[in-house]
Structure 1
Amino acid sequence: MSPAVGAATLGARRSSRFVAWVRAWRAGLVPYDEIADEIAGDEEHLVADAPGAWTDLPLRDALPCFAKLAPDEIRLVLPAPGDPRGLPGPGAFTGAALLAGEAVVARGLGVIPEVRSHTSGSGVTFETVLWRVYPLPDELPGGGRTEPGPAEAEADLSAALAEATTALTRLDIAHWRPELAGALAALRRPDGGMDLPPGFDPRARRLFARASVLDQVLALAEHAAPGGAVNGYEAQQRDAALRPLTAACRRALVAACNAPLRP
């Protein structure tokens, strides 16, 4: 497996895991004791500004903030500049969510992960995650439900992936970024370890697995500098080819994590 493919299958966005597992808990499909570990994995997760708290709390101790909410009152949003769907109007939460590119929207609460990197005395780098809580109105415009359903999002993602693959092949991406080309090919074999909790139907699970891998691939393409053989025009063409795919990927993740739950 190439480094890019490996990076692409490390894990889903933190907000997507938060929403999926908290919704499953509120639906009575998974026990409370499992939620914090499923969200955090091997990271340390803390929560700042939780209602009624005067200091940062471990994630497990802050999850009762969601105990009175129904599953459909907890939603994933993945906003981008020019596409703030699912967010309330202008304010501190909306600005922070646009900057982070991800957030959790619930009745009366908004939560955004802030990732902090640390280096130990021995030179080992590790990350901690601080979930910052913002007060929100109980009712958001449109109910916070402006995303397509899983079926529509899956069709859109497939179409966008086909178009992007054609464009990237024409740009000969395999010549100057062979690892990215390999990662795109791996999307046809989604990582079975990237799964949703109980309650999500097979379509939502398939969509989440595929979109999660693709999300990491696109992050790699965005942040890694192109090779020296690529000029500015070619880089612009690559970005133009990936832009619709990036939007379709975000919509797919939102649709999968916000899909209706079943016993």
Structure 2
Amino acid sequence: MCSPSATLTVWAGSWLAGCSAPDDVLEALHAWAPKHTIAAGDPVTGGRTDLPWSSRGNLPGTGVMALLKVIRETMAAPGAQLRLVLPVPGDVRGLPIGTAFAADAIEAEEGMLIGVPGTDGTGLIPQWVDDDTLQWTVYSTPIPLDPGHDMALGEAEYTMREAVRDAADALMQLHTTALGGSDSDPRELIEAELADYSRHDYPESIPLRARRILDTADHVAAILTVAQREPASAPTSASAIGAQETLLRPLWDAIRAARLVAIHASARPTT
């Protein structure tokens, strides 16, 4: 699983569909951190949710069971949806632009929206307090009426299969343009990255095709992570730096798009 927000989105969807228990959701979150807390992002949200208010440098919080309570209550509205967001500068699909949630989600590069499109709902963003604690901040935020187009699952699966080859080619090219060598075996480094992803379980209710997409996206991400890290560990030429930008950015964009498709297919209440 690529992020705490992705884990919460897919496991909350399974729980709300009656395919997983609350304890299953909490166990999946604990793979990220042994302690999770939840707090409101502003006084208004705090009053609406009865949660303590969190601000920069001031991180109170309450127990993680309150996180499930917020999700359940927001999803009780007819037509409510769970939506994962994985924004980066230049790609802010799915965000309610101009909101505090959007600004903080871009900084965190992840978040979760809950509610009926076109109405006011709830946003969640995880923030690391320390190595053992993940704080979930709750936002009152509009839910975009048009969150952006998701690819079909078949298209996403094909895109990820092609991306494996393209990522391997990029890794090879970046290693040939880097000045100085690395004694590390890229295959071992990629396996280590994949092992980190594999710590996180999927609910049994996840569609098989969505699972394949997520697994392949993790594989591509592991290759790209190694491709970015290894040339940077030694002096690099201008051509190596340019190759990183040209080769890797489109692949990272494809990974984000495929992950969103797979997570949203897995988080639908009818799944």
TM-score by structure 2 length? Answer: 0.77
Partner of 1:7: none
Residue deviations 1:101-126 (CA, integer Å, cap 9, x gap): 11111110111111133xxxxxxxx3
Q: Is 1:77 aligned with 2:82?
A: no
Q: Name the SS of the counterpart of 1:130 in structure 2.
A: strand
CA drift of 1:212 comes to 2.9
Query: Match of 2:156?
Result: 153
Question: 2:171–2:224: 8 Å Cα contact kept in structure 1?
Answer: no
- What is the TM-score normalised by the length of structure 1? 0.79
* Distance in structure 2 (CA, Å) of the matches to 1:207 and 1:47: 30
1:137-160 superposed Cα distances (whole Å, 9 cap, x missing partner): 2x4131x35222322112122223
Task: Report the counterpart of residue 37 of structure 2 in structure 1.
Answer: 46
What is the alpha-carbon distance in structure 2 between the residues aligned to residue 241 and residue 27 of structure 1? 40
Match of 1:197 among 189, 200, 203: 203
Give 5+ residue unaligned stretches, structure 1: 1-10, 118-125
What's 1:227 paired with?
Answer: 233
- What is the DSSP-based 3-state SS (H/G/I as helix, E as strand, rest coil) of the residue aligned with 1:228? coil
Deviation of 1:230 (Å): 2.6
Question: Which residue does the alignment assign to 1:100?
Answer: 108
Taking only the aligned residue pairs, the percentage that are identical comes to 26
Which runs of no fewer than 5 residues in structure 2 stay unpaired? Answer: 41-45, 53-59, 116-120
Query: 2:139 matched to 1:141?
Result: no
Q: Does 1:90 align with 2:114?
A: no
C-alpha distance in structure 1 between counterparts of 2:183 and 2:148, whole Å? 38
Q: Which of these residues, 5, 8, 12, is aligned with residue 15 of structure 1?
A: 5
The offset of 1:187, in angstroms, is 9.3
Alignment correspondent of 1:115:
128
Code of the aligned partner of 1:101 = E
Q: Would you say the 8 A contact 1:113–1:132 is kept in 2?
A: yes
Instruction: State how many pairs are aligned.
Output: 243
CA–CA distance in structure 1, aligned partners of residues 183 and 65 of structure 2: 41
Q: Measure how far apart 1:198 and its partner are.
A: 2.4
Which structure exhibits the higher relative contact order, with contacts defined as CA atoms closer than 8 Å and separated by 6 or more residues? Answer: 1
Whole-angstrom CA distance in 1 between matches of 2:80 and 2:206:
13
* RMSD over aligned Cα atoms: 3.1
User: Which whole-Å deviations, capped at 9, do the CAs of 1:59-108 have from their partners, x for residues lacking one?
Assistant: 12221111141797011111111111111121211111111111111110
What pairs up with 1:213-224 in 2 under 5 angstroms? 213-219=219-225, 221-222=227-228
| Superposed counterparts of 1:164-175, under 5 Å | 164-172=167-175, 175=181
Moved over 6 A (4+): 185-192
Distance 2:238 2:34 in 1: 38
Inter-CA distance 66–92: structure 2 relative to 1 (3 Å threshold) = same
CA distance in 2 between partners of 1:188 and 1:156 (Å): 19
| Corresponding position: 1:241 with 2:241 | no
